Amino acid sequence: MKIAIIIPSLAQKGPIIIAYELVKGLLSYGHNVSVFYFDNIIELHFPCEVNKIKLYEFWKIKGFDIIHTHCLRPDIFGFISKKIFKKTCHITTIHNLVEDDLSYSYGNFVSSIISGLWRATWKGLDGRVVLTDHAYSYYKSSQPNLSFHRIYNGRSSNSFKAIDDFDSAYICEIKQKFKIIGSCAVLTRRKGLEQVIKALPILEEYIFLLIGDGPAREELIKLAIELGVLDRFLMLGQKNNARDYMPYMDCYVLPSRSEGLSLALLEAVSSGIPTVCASIPQIQEIFSEKEVAYFQLDNTSSFVESINKINNEGLDYQNRALRRYNDCYTCDVMVVNYLNYYKSFFS
């Protein structure tokens, strides 16, 4: 098949990383893949033809069997291009619960306007992929006339590369005194990272290592100062190789209030890092309570209890989660599922 993948940019962000993994897999199965993007942000280098386009340059995607879009602007592009290239199959992957995601960033009013527009674009496409059964139910209940198809994300299990020498030496020095709770995230309120900081006064033997940046950065620092734990809150900022910091962590934490299907979670599990997660439906669907330790949102005692479980039984959690990952969430499993979905439109 000749497949066009359309993404906002080549930034190293969740939906674009998934597109990258998908492209690699599709190429390995012998398909002809081209990537199209809008913004001049280049952090990922795709192993195929890559073209920067403008929102009106529809003629550049003529002749493809599949047009596969990711995120809002590509979906708008796909919606309009479907009106032009009626015989081409247009699908989208919906990476989030749009109202939840947008409301945390822009508020409920703006979220309602943007999400309404976004949902309208899906009506003109041939196929819509969601990441979890929870997302399937979420969208199907409000748009029952549309068909949705669930495909779990997949992530390659790559070998680790060396991190910055200064960071490595600093973290190794810290590990002589503390255990490390780690997380890699865009710093927004949706990620729930303040819950970890609130537990640090109790978890005196731990330090919180946070990789990432974002609008909630100053709020998190202010909270750490108020609680007297700033000396055990280590923020290293945005790192393009965030995954390479995971081997330094004694446990990984995903305290999000809402998620699509967290790539960082799959990376931690595939890296053999025992993991603590907020008890939200999107994550409970992916791993069982025997594979990751769950805690109740905004319940510090519950969070501390989960950390203690990992401290005492981390290897058992780690092994069970890794088996689950290998069975369900590898890149190859995801790619095969997408190929089967593509082919279903031509059968």
128 DSSP β-pair partners: 92
pLDDT of residue 259: 86
Secondary structure of residue 37 in the 3-state scheme: strand
**Cα torsion 220, 221, 225, 226: sign:** negative
Same domain (yes/no): 187, 298: yes
pLDDT at 159: 67
Instruction: Tell me the CATH number at 340.
Output: 3.40.50.2000
Quick one: 198 and 147 in the same domain?
no
* DSSP state for residue 202 in the 8-state scheme: T
- Return mean pLDDT, the chain: 93
User: Each residue of 8-23: pLDDT tens digit?
Assistant: 999 988 899 999 999 9
97 confidence band (pLDDT: 50, 70, 90): confident
pLDDT digits (tens, 9 = 90+) for 278-329: 999 989 999 999 999 999 999 999 999 999 999 999 899 999 999 999 999 9
Q: 94 lies in which domain range? A: 2-156+330-344
Looking at the 3D structure of the chain, how many domains does it have? 2
DSSP class of 289:
T
Predicted TM-score (pTM) above 0.85: yes
Q: Across residues 190-213, what is the average pLDDT?
A: 95
Distance separating alpha carbons of residues 269 and 272, to the nearest angstrom: 5
Question: Are 209 and 308 in a shared domain?
Answer: yes
**Three-state DSSP class for residue 213:** coil
- Asked if 100 and 139 sit in the same domain, the reply is yes
Note the pLDDT tens digit of each residue in 36-86: 999 999 999 999 999 999 999 999 999 999 999 999 999 999 999 999 988
Same domain? For 151 and 169 the reply is no
Same domain flag for 125 and 48? yes
Of 55-64, 96-105, 167-176, 196-205, least confident by mean pLDDT is 96-105
pLDDT in tens, 121-179: 999 999 999 999 999 999 999 999 999 999 999 988 766 788 888 888 989 999 999 99
Q: Is 113 helix (H, G, I), strand (E, B) or coil?
A: helix
Q: How, if at all, do strands 66-70 and 2-7 pair?
A: parallel
Largest Cα–Cα distance in the chain?
63
Q: Is the domain of 8 the same as that of 147?
A: yes
Residue 113 pLDDT exceeds 80: yes
